[in-house]
Structure 1
Amino acid sequence: MDKIAVLIPCYNESQTVQKVVMDFRRVLPEATIYVYDNNSTDGTAELARTAGAVVRHEYQQGKGNVIRRMFREIDAEAYIMVDGDDTYPAEAAPEMVKAVTEHQADMVVGDRLSSTYYTQNKRPFHNFGNDLVRFFTNNLFGGQIKDIMTGYRAFSYQFVKTYPVLSRGFEIETEMTIHALHRNMQVENVIIDYRDRPAGSESKLNTYSDGFRVLRTIARLYKNYRPFGFFSTLAAVLGMISLCFLAPVLGEYFATGLVPRFPTLIVCACVLVAALLLFISGVILSSQLTKDDRDFEFHLQQVQQWKNRSADPFSHSAK
């Protein structure tokens, strides 16, 4: 097991990957630097290896796929994950690692938005998207995360080995944030400086398509992690629509004793039944989620035991 593992997912980052590797070797000399190449065609892997990194490959395209591979293969007491585009300062890494090793944080977020991001980033829609995602995530899941989309994070062993990577692309940051909030893991924010990409280095993030995926991921995870709130909201919307159309029918019935609009009455009744079924579904799924939360806590205890055995294999064999 490594003491500290620096994980760098890369796709065509030949202009910056050497500097990123050397910067982290300088500030974290005790760390092992891993570069996971995701089908680069510009020599990124060779340059990273020359700079002193351990280079591995993930052949399924997408950042989520790379992170799944990294988390599966690397065992460490603390992890630093950073993009290979040289937009994040390596100097913040020791503080982030300290939050994991000494303050028992499960995830440390490198917060760009509280420092230089809005002045350095030249893409206004990215700024708006970050604010929108932060608003929805914190309000729907009860968090106080300052930067949801940052690619600079630190993790504990427990987080890495219990986090189910489901996303394939850039929505992975949102997914891991919501996972930490839902599982009541300790999250800390560390303010970092942000610098825009150097000239000639292009972002792989598409503002519109990837932004839509992120919002869709939030909706999907809200359904999975807050089923009562999700289905109750749908039930309330359907119930209000049904009552709006039903009110004139009932008013006419009480006034004349007649129901001349039977189709409207039937449709409203069906919609009310659908709303009731959605509400019941939310109650049932919420109960199942409670059981899942209990199972997760037991799994977390098992992961802690695995870590103890890996850190001190001789004491375990002696027993």
Structure 2
Amino acid sequence: MEKVAIIIPCWNESLTIEKVVKDCKKAMPEASIYVYDNNSTDGTAEIAEKAGAIVRHEYQQGKGNVVRRMFRDIDAECYIMLDGDDTNPPEFAPEMADLVLNKGVDMVVGDRLSSTYFEENKRPFHNFGNTLVKGSINLLFKSDIKDIMTGYRAFSYNFVKTYPILSKGFEIETEMTIHSVSHNMHVANVVTDYRDRPDGSESKLNTYSDGFRVLKTIFRLFKNYRPLLFFGLSSLILFIIGLCFFIPVLANFMKTGLVPKIPTLVVSCFIMLTAILSLFTGIILDVIVNKDKQAFEFRLQQAHANKVLLEKSDD
């Protein structure tokens, strides 16, 4: 098992990948540097290999698919993941690795938003999107993650080998953040600098389509990880709507003893029943989620046992 593995997902980053690999070697000369090429057509893989990286390939398109492959292939005590576009300075990697190796942190988030991100990033909608996503997740999951969308992170062996990756694209960062806070994993923030892409290098992130996918992921994971709150809120909204329909009918009945608006009464009853069903759906799913969290703790123990065996085999 390797001590530290630096893993770099790449797609058409020929302008920057050589510098990124060399900077990683300078920052952590003891680490193995892996570049996972995702169907690049500009010679990214060849440049990375000449710079001294171990180059591997993932042919299913999408960052989520690349991260899944990296996590499956590599066994290390600490994983440092950063982008190949030279926006994440590797000099912060030793501090992040120290938190994983010596402080028992499961995931370290490279926090760009607290440093130079808003000055360096020239795309206002990206800035707004990062702020919106961070606020939404911290509110819904009662967390304190400083930068949700960053690709600059460090992971423990236990995190990597127990994390079920479902996302295929750039929403992977959102998914792993919600997974970690939902399962009470130890998450730390390290403030890092951010450099905007050099001239000629273009972002692969589409502000609107990928932004919509990220919001869709938040909605899906909120429903999956906190079903009681999700369906409880739905139940409350439906109950209020049903009450709005029912109150005029009740008021008229109290006044005249008649119910002239039978269809309105029927609609209000159906809405109230739907509210009750939504509430009980949330309760049932919450029990299932708690059972899954118990099973996850056993998977963590198994991953730790596998890590110990790998370390003994290396000795």
TM-score if structure 2 supplies the norm length?
0.99
Q: Spell out, residue by residue over 1:230-272, the C-alpha distance to the aligned partner (whole angstroms, 9 max, x if none).
A: 0000111111011001110011111111111111111110111
State the match for 1:280 in structure 2.
280
**SS where residue 292 of structure 2 aligns?**
helix
1:197 & 1:291 partners in 2: Cα distance? 44
Quote the Cα distance in structure 2 between the aligned partners of 1:62 and 1:236.
38
Cα distance in 1 for residues equivalent to 2:156 and 2:290: 24
Equivalent residue letter for 1:195: R
Kindly provide the amino acid, as one letter, of the partner of residue 247 in structure 1: I
- For the residues of structure 1 that align with 2:302 and 2:151, how far apart are their CA atoms? 28
Q: Secondary structure at 1:199's aligned position in 2? A: coil
Deviation of the 1:299 alpha carbon: 0.9
The letter of the residue matching 2:285 is: L
- Please state whether the residue corresponding to 1:270 is helix, strand or coil: helix
Distance in 2, Cα, partners of 1:28 & 1:169: 28
Structure 2 distance, partners of 1:139, 1:266, is 37
How do 1:76-95 and structure 2 match up within 5 A? 76-95=76-95
For 2:5, what is the secondary structure of its paired residue?
strand
Identity of counterpart residues, as a percentage?
Answer: 63
Alignment of 1:207-226 (within 5 A): 207-226=207-226
Aligned residue for 1:46? 46
Q: Does 1:243 align with 2:243?
A: yes
After TM superposition, list the pairs within 5 Å mapping 1:113-192 onto structure 2: 113-192=113-192
Provide the rounded CA distance (Å) in 2 between the counterparts of 1:118 and 1:151: 16
Distance 1:27 1:11 in 2: 23
Equivalent residue of 2:286, what SS?
helix
Alignment of 1:55-74 (within 5 A): 55-74=55-74
Residues in 2 aligned to 1:122 and 1:288: alpha-carbon distance in whole angstroms: 44
Q: Offset of 1:314 from its aligned partner?
A: 7.1
SS of residue matched to 2:103: coil
Matched, 1:197 2:177: no
Deviation of 1:301 after TM superposition, in Å, equals 0.4
For 2:78 and 2:173, locate their aligned partners in 1 and report how far apart those are by CA, in whole Å. Answer: 18
**Distance in structure 2 (CA, Å) of the matches to 1:227 and 1:274:** 16
In the alignment, residue 156 of structure 1 is paired with which amino acid?
Answer: S
1:250-269 maps to which residues of 2 (within 5 A)? 250-269=250-269
Give 1:208's aligned amino acid: Y
Q: Which amino acid aligns with 2:295?
A: D
For 1:44, the aligned partner's letter is T
**Per-residue deviation, residues 116-157 of structure 1 (Å, max 9, x unmatched):** 000000001111100000000111111111000011000000
Aligned pairs (5 A) from 1:286-297: 286-297=286-297
Q: Are 1:305 and 2:309 counterparts?
A: no
Which residue is equivalent to 1:109?
A: 109
Query: 1:270 maps to which residue?
Result: 270
Instruction: Report SS of the residue matched to 2:55.
Output: strand
Give the letter aligned to residue 207 of structure 1: T
Q: What letter is aligned with 1:72? A: R
Q: Would you identify which runs of 4 or more consecutive aligned residues in structure 1 move more than 6 Å?
A: none
Structure 1 residues not aligned, in runs of 5+: none
Q: Which runs of 5+ in 2 are unaligned?
A: none
TM-score in terms of structure 1 length: 0.98
Distance in 1 (CA, whole Å) between partners of 2:302 and 2:56 is 28
Tell me if 1:5 matches 2:1.
Answer: no
**C-alpha root-mean-square deviation of aligned residues, in Å?**
0.8
Q: State the Cα distance separating 1:87 from its structure 2 match.
A: 0.5
CA distance in 2 between counterparts of 1:288 and 1:137 reads 22
Q: For 1:109 and 1:259, how far apart are their aligned partners in 2? A: 60
Aligned position for 1:97: 97
Secondary structure of 2:60's aligned partner:
coil
Matching residue's letter, 2:223: K
What's the CA shift string for 1:23-55, capped at 9, x where partnerless? 111111111111000000000000000011111
